[in-house]
Homo-oligomer: A and B are copies of this chain.
Amino acid sequence: MSHITDPSAGRGARTTSCRACALREKTCFEDMTEQELAFMERFKVGEMVVEAGTTVLLQGSTSPQLFTVLQGLGLRYTTLPNGNRQVLNFAFPGDFIGLQSAVMGELCHSFEASTKMRLCVFDRAGFWELLRHQPRRSFAISWLAAREEHFLGDSLATVGQREAGSKIAWALLRIWQRLDELGELQSSPRGNGLRAPMPWRQQDLADALGMSLVHTNKTLARLRAKDQADWRRGWLTLPDPEALAKEYEITMSEFQKRPLI
């Protein structure tokens, strides 16, 4: 199901060069210096396109690759010995995937594409070189790792300390915010307001929040009835995100430009 394009194969015409990368245009990312660009292009091994449902990284295996999401949405999860699944986070364009595997030997989580995805592929061996020769890039890596740590801490606090309605609202707001940063919110086809693509299943959200599927469903229905959030058929609508956040005592961390790997 997967398809890798190697830039050294053929004339490399099929692989976007970092310079031409559409992600760089987004306002949510920091600018890159000419030197950084040149370096990243050497570090880049190719591109990979996967269909929705593909397992890109499998817990327990040892992947020699690192990725940056170019297009599409995915999710990262662990499977416990008791069979339960914990979704660790949802992945968006610009996310750097696999830092942990570069550090620990073995993968302790899986990564799955929730839509068709395009991934930028880097070689793990090049990672060390990256940090050695590019202090700015290396700082970017640490920055992203710290940010990820922050997000996970936030998830932990939500899963551990909020009740159902608040959990759901928190998750929807976070997804909304991330898509907003990326400029992926669209105006609804019917009438006013914005909507966000949200391709995940209710089961995914349930597994992210430590809730049962049924309870997740009923809580979503309650939010819909109160006109606070409407997530159906792959699209999420939040009539008033600020009011929602206030109602459920949710403080979103403010926007910050972030580096792109």
Whether a CB of chain B sits under 8 angstroms from the CB of A235 is: no
* CB-based contact A99/B146 at 8 Å: yes
* A156 contact from B82, B84, B102, B152, Cβ within 8 A: B152
Assembly CA distance A155 to B160 (angstroms): 10
Q: What are the residues of chain B within 8 A of A61 when measuring CB–CB?
A: none
A78 interface hit (Cβ, 8 Å): yes
Q: A82 and B249 in contact (CB under 8 A), knowing A152-B153, A153-B108, A156-B155?
A: yes
A interface SS class = helix
A161 to B155, alpha carbons, bound, how many Å? 13
**A145, closest chain B residue (CB):** B145
Shortest CB-to-CB span from A96 to chain B, Å, is: 11
A132 CB-CB contact with B under 8 Å = yes
Question: Is A149's CB within 8 Å of the partner chain B?
Answer: yes
In the assembled complex, the Cα of A48 lies from the Cα of B30 at a distance in Å of: 36
Output the nearest chain B residue to A160 by Cβ-Cβ distance.
B210
A123-165, CB < 8 A from B: 128, 131-133, 135, 138-139, 141-143, 145-150, 152-157, 159-162
Residue of B nearest to A132 (CB): B135
Given A131-B139, A149-B148, A149-B152, A161:B100 Cβ within 8 A:
no
User: Out of B128, B135, B159, B250, which one reaches A131, CB within 8 Å?
Assistant: B135
Q: Are B253 and A161 in contact (CB under 8 A)?
A: no
- Taking the closest CB of chain B, its distance from the CB of A234, in whole angstroms, is 24
In the assembled complex, which residues on chain B have CB atoms less than 8 Å from the CB atom of A147? 103-104
Known: A149-B145, A152-B149. A80 touches B135 (CB 8 A): no
Q: Which residue of the partner chain, among B80, B100, B138, B141, contacts A157 with CB atoms under 8 Å?
A: B80
